[in-house]
Amino acid sequence: MPHAELKFSDDLTFDAVSLLQAVEATIQRHDAGSGACKGRAYPARTFHHTHCMLDVSMLSKPHRDADFTQRLLADLKAEMERHLTQGCALSLGIRYSDAYYITGQHNP
């Protein structure tokens, strides 16, 4: 289950939920078995320079190679640009979890 963290200066006006939904759909287009993407948005009230940064974390899998990652990066960047109507610094990264990452469900 991927995670997406969106961090941005709060002078940007865009629909963060819509962008996070588009991020999830984009990941699923590239990897149908990826599951839901847990998205979080963090607007920064205090900042230096207008910016938007998307950080995506995914589990390492054999099919998520360099070619997969470059194609996904390009499509995620295009989604960010579609949702952002103001000029800003733009950052985007995909990170893969190592062998010491645990994922699961807690159901007390």
> Residue 84 region, left (φ>0) first, then alpha (ψ -120 to 50), else beta?
beta
**Would residue 82 count as lying in a domain?**
yes
**Would residue 104 count as lying in a domain?**
no
The reported pLDDT for the residue numbered 101 is: 86
Q: What is the pLDDT along the chain (108 residues), one digit of tens a residue?
A: 899 999 999 999 999 999 999 999 999 999 999 999 999 999 999 999 999 999 999 999 999 999 999 999 999 999 999 999 999 999 999 999 988 888 888 999
22 with 67: CB under 8 angstroms? no
Domain carrying residue 61: 3-97
Alpha carbon distance 72, 83 (integer Å) = 17
Number of independent structural domains in the chain: 1
The reported pLDDT for the residue numbered 102 is: 83
**Would residue 107 count as lying in a domain?**
no
The reported pLDDT for the residue numbered 15 is: 98
56 with 95: CB under 8 angstroms? yes
The reported pLDDT for the residue numbered 99 is: 80
DSSP state of 79: H
CATH of the domain at 55: 3.30.429.10
